[in-house]
Amino acid sequence: MIIVLKPHPTPDVVQHVLERIEALGLTPHLSQGVSRTIVGVIGDEEKLQVEPLQAIPGVEQVVPILKPYKLASREFHREDTVITVKGVKIGGGHLAMIAGPCAIEGESLLMEIAGKVKEAGANILRGGAFKPRTSPYSFQGLGEEGLRILRAAGDTYGMPVITEVMDPRQVDLVERYTDIFQVGARNMQNFDLLKELGKTRTPVLLKRGMSATVKDLLMSAEYVLSQGNREVILCERGIRTFEDSTRNTMDLSSIPVAKGWSHLPIIADPSHATGKPDLIPAMARAAVAAGGDGVHVEVHSCPEKALSDGPQALLPEQYARLMEDLRQLAELMGKSIDVCEGESVSCARC
């Protein structure tokens, strides 16, 4: 940690800063330059909190040198984390292909979509039973009945399933049905929820908040990891910017940045990032080419009748074409897409 003092500090100010650091059992290291006086701190930087130091009169700036997360850091854990869910690997060269409707609307519809995405090559089935909707008047999800349907569809097709959890009170219930918890962008800093999930041993897919930096995302992962659950999958789903041609701006550089800083797998969600089906295939390909560990795509067989986020869903046949491209791209990148077990069944269009 480096503490920069304001110009022309009095000896008292310098003395006070040195005393505060020594009181914490650390060694200060004073450098007096032409224009500024700087105090470096040697020892266990973690003992120092940036905030109280910044509040000392005469301190201009405190520059932390170490990253504030530990368990999520690649310095702490050099190898890529590989997460295995019902035989499907995620990370370390294995791509997660998550697909399904935004919301679970009924059993026959989900079965139909599940069959089709399985056939196209998806290896994890998604579907929302608890929906975080901007409007209190929008469809809020089927709740436990939705979870039951999702589990049934996953079992039918031998696919692991993922679904969103929004409330710490739902963690036990949702865990009974799902293979992966999803934490939505709006809950990325719902710290009570993260702590509750950290106490389970079910993997957590953590979506980046719309105003979260990559560092913030890793700090939120740290909340889960620090409670003992080491299986976190990061997910880029777009950040909020002034550009209005897409729902959010997909920040694909977060993929190589996160992979440099952390050992956790990171996937991309072009459905929520763009909000436009026309753009999803291009951005899904780009995510894999950028080194992403998977792609999360919403698929619905009748988008215009979907109860939630219909306009951003691909049709099953569009998804099948995209998976063709992604398989070739994965091969070029030296990566594999695990196939999940269970048999595909054919089903009629809606």
- Pick between residue 295 and residue 340 the one whose CB is nearest to its own copies: 295
- Pick between residue 173 and residue 345 the one whose CB is nearest to its own copies: 173
In total, the chain counts a number of residues equal to 350
In the complex, the smallest distance separating the C-beta of residue 132 from its own copies, rounded to whole angstroms, is: 5
In the complex, the smallest distance separating the C-beta of residue 282 from its own copies, rounded to whole angstroms, is: 4
Asked if residues 197 and 207 have their Cβ atoms less than 8 Å apart, the reply is no
Tokens representing residue 212 in the block: 């979260």
Asked if residues 287 and 295 have their Cβ atoms less than 8 Å apart, the reply is yes
User: How far is the C-alpha of 231 from the C-alpha of 161, rounded, in Å?
Assistant: 15
Instruction: Tell me the residue type at 126.
Output: R
In the complex, the smallest distance separating the C-beta of residue 250 from its own copies, rounded to whole angstroms, is: 5
- Pick between residue 162 and residue 188 the one whose CB is nearest to its own copies: 188
**Alpha-carbon dihedral of residues 211, 217, 222, 223, nearest 10 degrees?**
40
- Pick between residue 125 and residue 322 the one whose CB is nearest to its own copies: 322
Task: Identify the burial level of 243 via C-beta atoms within 10 angstroms of its C-beta, where 0-12 means exposed, 13-18 middle and 19 or more buried.
Answer: exposed
Cβ atoms < 10 Å from Cβ of 91: 23
Cβ atoms < 10 Å from Cβ of 136: 6
- Pick between residue 206 and residue 288 the one whose CB is nearest to its own copies: 288
342 sits in the region (left: phi over 0; alpha: psi -120 to 50; else beta) called left
- Pick between residue 44 and residue 145 the one whose CB is nearest to its own copies: 44
User: How far is the C-alpha of 303 from the C-alpha of 319, rounded, in Å?
Assistant: 13
In the complex, the smallest distance separating the C-beta of residue 297 from its own copies, rounded to whole angstroms, is: 15
- Pick between residue 31 and residue 108 the one whose CB is nearest to its own copies: 31
Tokens representing residue 102 in the block: 């935004």
DSSP state of 228: T
In the complex, the smallest distance separating the C-beta of residue 311 from its own copies, rounded to whole angstroms, is: 4
User: How far is the C-alpha of 232 from the C-alpha of 264, rounded, in Å?
Assistant: 7
In the complex, the smallest distance separating the C-beta of residue 108 from its own copies, rounded to whole angstroms, is: 19
In the complex, the smallest distance separating the C-beta of residue 9 from its own copies, rounded to whole angstroms, is: 13
In the complex, the smallest distance separating the C-beta of residue 122 from its own copies, rounded to whole angstroms, is: 20
Cβ atoms < 10 Å from Cβ of 152: 16
- Pick between residue 212 and residue 233 the one whose CB is nearest to its own copies: 212
Crossing angle of the two packed helices 107-120 and 144-157, in degrees rounded to 10: 40
